[in-house]
Amino acid sequence: MSEGVSSRPLGTLKIYLGYAAGVGKTFKMLEEGHKLKREGQDVVIGYFEPHGRKDTIAEAEGIEMIARRKIQYRGAVFEEMDTAAILQRSPQVCLVDEFAHSNVPGSERSKRWEDVQILLDAGIGVLTTMNVQHIESLNDQVWHISGIRVRETVPDWVVKQADEIVMVDVPPQALLNRLRRGAIYAREKANLALQNFFKESTLVALRELALRQTAHEVDVRHVEHESGAATLSGGFAVPGVAHSAASDTPQDRILIHVTPDPLSAMLIRRGRRVADYQQADCFAVAVERGADGRFLPAAEREALDKHLNFARNLHIETRVLEGENVAETLVDFAHRYQVTQIFLARPHGKPRLRLLHKDLVREVVRKARNIEVTVVAERHR
């Protein structure tokens, strides 16, 4: 699959992962920058977002800062990281705040993580910061917890590429105290924040999510390091390790059924996440009734393309199949490609009204014989 093919960048990437603004990610990153500098490395700040926080601003002192690039957009001036200037300066280590940031239109690249890729490819080591809610495959879960649809996301494979992920932890109560003291945002914005992301139950849940995600990232990395080792110290089943290293489990292969339906995005995220945890291969497959989607209305065509494109951005291989019967075409493909699990979206609408109709889920379940079928439900709030 695509992950295997892409070559690893030269520079090492380290991510400071938090669960909310104000947990201290930027501070931690700067602290590490100072430490590396003391050890004799050539360190610069590529982008740093002070948010007017005094401690953080003081911590940035003493590290060379690369001036930002000014970009005009709709009559206003925006500042973005100047990737070209950093490349020219060519430091050993570059500090880049807010990994998930979207650049203003007119920038060379649309996402900051893409700028970081460029730095890594040039052999520059990068320290960066992000929150757990910016991980693409967690988008639905985060929305479910917080009611907020996070727009700026980083694909999971980009995060997976990091050599090191460090959790920046702080208990929610302490964070709320900081917020009330005005140490995170100005008063007005703080009050707004308290009603949204900064509800205590939301923070506690996001923190748990970040801890589990970091544990998973640690797990994935030590699996990679020791791949091939049959048993682990004393046979203690470290979750994930014992199974993934063992050769007796057949390769899992997941097929995600993609349609123009908006639910497809959720299905793709969920499939990607499960595939990552099971270390499974992953396909996204659409079925069209006529060649080249002739019979698809333009709006649906566009939605389908958007979803296929989304899947590819998450490093999922996509296929468009042609067939009159969707269930049959999917299951045929699944059998031919030794798929072990098919992901379908749970159909909309009132179940009773559907009973007598043939529906896709029913049909696929009946035809799939030896294949598991996972019906993914939309999470409501």
Scan residues 258-317 and list those touching another protein (CB under 8 A): 270, 277-278
**Does 245 contact another protein by CB under 8 A?**
no
Q: Which residues pair with 93 in a beta bridge?
A: 43, 125
- Choice between 96 and 371, CB closer to another protein: 371
- Within residues 59-118, the interface with another protein by CB under 8 A covers none
Least Å distance, CB 376 to another protein, is: 5
Rounded Cα distance, 158 and 138, in Å: 14
Stretch that binds another protein, among 68-76, 85-93, 294-302, 362-370 (CB under 8 A): 362-370
The pair of three-digit structure tokens given for residue 233, joined into one six-digit string:
């110290």
**Does 157 contact another protein by CB under 8 A?**
no
**Pick from 150, 116, 147: which is nearest to 132 by CA?**
150
Amino acid at 26: T
Residue from 148, 186, 192, 238 binding another protein (CB under 8 A) = 238
Residue from 94, 96, 205, 255 binding another protein (CB under 8 A) = 205
- Choice between 207 and 257, CB closer to another protein: 207
Least Å distance, CB 335 to another protein, is: 12
Residue from 71, 104, 183, 375 binding another protein (CB under 8 A) = 375
Whether the Cβ atoms of residue 227 and residue 245 lie closer than 8 Å to each other = yes
- Choice between 208 and 317, CB closer to another protein: 208
What stretch of H or E contains 165?
strand 164-167
**Does 151 contact another protein by CB under 8 A?**
no
**Does 201 contact another protein by CB under 8 A?**
yes
**Pick from 80, 44, 49: which is nearest to 62 by CA?**
44
Q: Phi first, then psi: what are they for 253, rounded to 5°?
A: -140, 120
Least Å distance, CB 180 to another protein, is: 13
**Does 358 contact another protein by CB under 8 A?**
no
**Does 374 contact another protein by CB under 8 A?**
yes
**Does 204 contact another protein by CB under 8 A?**
yes
- Choice between 303 and 371, CB closer to another protein: 371
**Does 346 contact another protein by CB under 8 A?**
yes
The pair of three-digit structure tokens given for residue 217, joined into one six-digit string:
């990232």
Print the SS3 string covering 258-312: CCCCCHHHHHHHHHHHHHHHHCCEEEEEEEECCHHHCCCCHHHHHHHHHHHHHHH
Rounded Cα distance, 175 and 198, in Å: 9
**Pick from 151, 152, 89, 81: which is nearest to 117 by CA?**
81
- Within residues 34-53, the interface with another protein by CB under 8 A covers none
Residue from 169, 261, 305, 332 binding another protein (CB under 8 A) = 169
